[in-house]
Amino acid sequence: MAEIDVVAPNLKKRLSGVTATVVRLIPIQSRLIGITTTGPGLPSELPHISLGQAATLPRNRWRVWHARRNTEMALGLIYRYILQRKYKMLFTSAAQRQHTGFTRWLIRRQDALIATSPQAASYLERPATVILHGVDTQIFHPVPDRAALRAELGFAPDDIVIGCFGRVRAQKGVDLLVEAALRLFPSRPRARLVFTGRVTSDNESFVADLKARLQAAGIADRVSFLGELPWQDVVRHYQAIDLFAAPARWEGFGLTPLEAMACGVPVVASRVGAFETLIRDGITGSLVARDNADELTEALAYWLDDDAGRLVAGQTARAHVVDNHSIEDEARAIVDVYRKLLA
């Protein structure tokens, strides 16, 4: 392994948005600076040291400890102040809410802060560098033979497929999207709705109720709950759909609209997380009020009824992501923060 300049901890075993961020960024950042991960739940191909090794790195120079969770900030402080390791503390925050007293205490002890959106920065009570998430436009891209992919996934040529990807729960506004389908689908026979994502045990009754409502309305065969899919299959669904919906009630950042737009798909999203920063309202999709089924229904109807407009918006969305939200730009901006801390 190259000389270590940065340690990026991941203290959660299950896949999460934070873990996915580490997995996406490290391969690119490792070409720019000596960076390694530590902690459980990460792919074997990433550079990695054990937590014990991270606690015993030589004191010959400073390194950056880049935390993204409270537990990781706390562990970094233990390494620095109790074990006397030479770590500069860096924390990235996506949260758009008032932080708890303990979190604020941890934040005050960081050497630098990154926020994933201007909204997240406003809650930190300290200066922060705003660095928006990016996506890998080599992975998320339109496919040459979209018709063949759609046929393979079971979509008819004339279907207008709305996708909503992520955990299936109320926080994601899944019930709002089902309500919109109940209102729109009877008069729009081409429309279909596809959900991908895990249903946890505490959300099983929530999803069962949604399915019952769809069954009673006679449109259950046009709404699919596919469950948790392998990542490459999620990408294929992005590439096959016509419209993406992200009606979340709250969101830290929210990468799914960027992933959809990178695949040439317009997006209808609520005004939460970083969505207002990412989506150009009326150009790459539509923004609607949080927790508002009426506005969501109206926006979906607009795009469902305009085949040519969806195509133009999708092409514009792809160009917008390539120009403004590539993962390479995100990686370079974070490495710039590392270098300033190490200077």
Cα–Cα distance for residue pair 328/235, rounded to 1 Å: 19
In degrees rounded to 5, what are phi and psi of residue 165? Answer: -115, 140
| pLDDT tens digits, 97-118 | 889 999 999 999 999 999 998 8
| pLDDT tens digits, 239-269 | 999 999 999 998 878 889 999 999 999 999 9
pLDDT over threshold 70, residue 2: no
pLDDT over threshold 60, residue 1: no
Residues of the chain with CATH 3.40.50.2000: 6-134+326-342, 146-324
3-state secondary structure at position 216:
helix
| pLDDT tens digits, 167-200 | 899 999 999 999 999 999 999 999 999 999 999 9
Cα–Cα distance for residue pair 40/13, rounded to 1 Å: 5
What is the residue-averaged pLDDT of the chain?
94
What are the structure tokens assigned to 222, written together? 């046009």
For domain 6-134+326-342, the question of CATH label 3.40.50.2000 is answered with yes
Q: Which fold has domain 146-324?
A: Rossmann fold (3.40.50)
